Amino acid sequence: MTPLQAAARQYLDGITKGDLAFATEGFADDAVLEIPFSSLPVSRVEGRQAIQNLMTPVIESMARRDWSNIRFIETGTDDLVLMDFECDFEQVQARGSYQNSYHCVIEGSGGKIVRWREYYDARIGDAVVGREAMNTAVVLDYATSFQKENSRTLVERVFHTDAEYLVNLPREQAPETIDAIPWSGLWKGHAAILEFEDIFEANWTVDEITPTDIIAKDDDVIVFGRMVLTAKATRKVADTPLMIRFTVEDGKIRKYHLMEDTYGVVLSHRSGGHFEVDNNGSKRQEPRPNAAA
């Protein structure tokens, strides 16, 4: 077995075990996974972490994941693998089993997988994946494509035309935050969301978005995680936990509501001054007057 064939087999073994970190050990960091004929919202992802994110809801929706009739087809080169196999999965929810046949075209370099292109009967696959897994795939598509794909293309592709995009609180509830956080508040519709994107990109560089937990039920998907941003004006870093609630309908995002460490985000843009705080029985200045600006 060549190193590339071994990496391909390890991917299947990792899925059987439910261990996606192990499954993708043989993938290059910038590897691409493509599912050309899938009607799922995401048919292409780039990067080992993005591949793990895409496969997570699939793994979680299946209680048993077995492969059979695995066969490699010789290509005459170690950097190209053709592989056929069949699956026999048992779903967590009582919707029966899932069987399908697959053909994969796997390209490699130095024994690492750089492109995995997967063909199967998408009609069978999409029928059993379920609405919640499909909605989660939409959310992960947006999270992994943010600030990587052209903003207009991404917004038009993943949001309904009248979608609501809410960051922290509506402006009417906290008007004093707008000067400090001009991208906060409610943005509705493609034009408004693109305006948000312009303001955000003028102020921030996204260093990292890491989902840690995802809860999906019916049309709602809630993502808990961590986001690391660098303020372009000050070069200060905001490392904030986040919670985003998505509502997905018909394969597109209808509502987006993000909550973050607002105080920490504001401080990353702070170049001077302080807040006057009156709570817990005392008045004080935050940050402390002697704190570095």
Please report, for residues 53, 76, 130, 270, the alpha-carbon distance to residue 57 in angstroms, rounded to integers and kept in the order given: 8, 36, 10, 39
- What pLDDT shows up at residue 166? 94
- What pLDDT shows up at residue 126? 63
Q: Which of 62-66, 98-102, 167-171, 232-236 has the highest mean pLDDT?
A: 232-236
- What pLDDT shows up at residue 242? 92
Residues 6+ apart with CB under 8 A from 108: 3, 4, 7, 78, 79, 80, 81, 114
- What pLDDT shows up at residue 278? 84
Measured over the CA atoms of residue 33, residue 84, residue 23 and residue 68, the dihedral's sign is positive
Phi, psi of 103 (to 5 degrees): -130, 130
148 pLDDT tier (thresholds 50, 70, 90):
confident
Euclidean distance between CA atoms 51 and 6, whole angstroms: 18
Helix (H, G, I), strand (E, B) or coil at 54: helix
Residue 36: count of CB within 10 angstroms of its CB: 11
Interval 103-120: pLDDT, tens = 999 999 999 999 999 998
Helix (H, G, I), strand (E, B) or coil at 221: strand
Q: Where is pLDDT greater, at 177 or 246?
A: 246
Euclidean distance between CA atoms 56 and 60, whole angstroms: 6
Q: Where are the alpha helices (DSSP H) in 211-278?
A: 262-267
pTM value? 0.61
Euclidean distance between CA atoms 42 and 102, whole angstroms: 18
Please report, for residues 153, 156, 157, the alpha-carbon distance to residue 150 in angstroms, rounded to integers and kept in the order given: 5, 10, 11
Q: Where is pLDDT greater, at 91 or 103?
A: 103
Cross-strand partners of 209: 227
Give Dmax over CA atoms of the chain in angstroms: 77
Interval 123-136: pLDDT, tens = 776 666 667 777 88
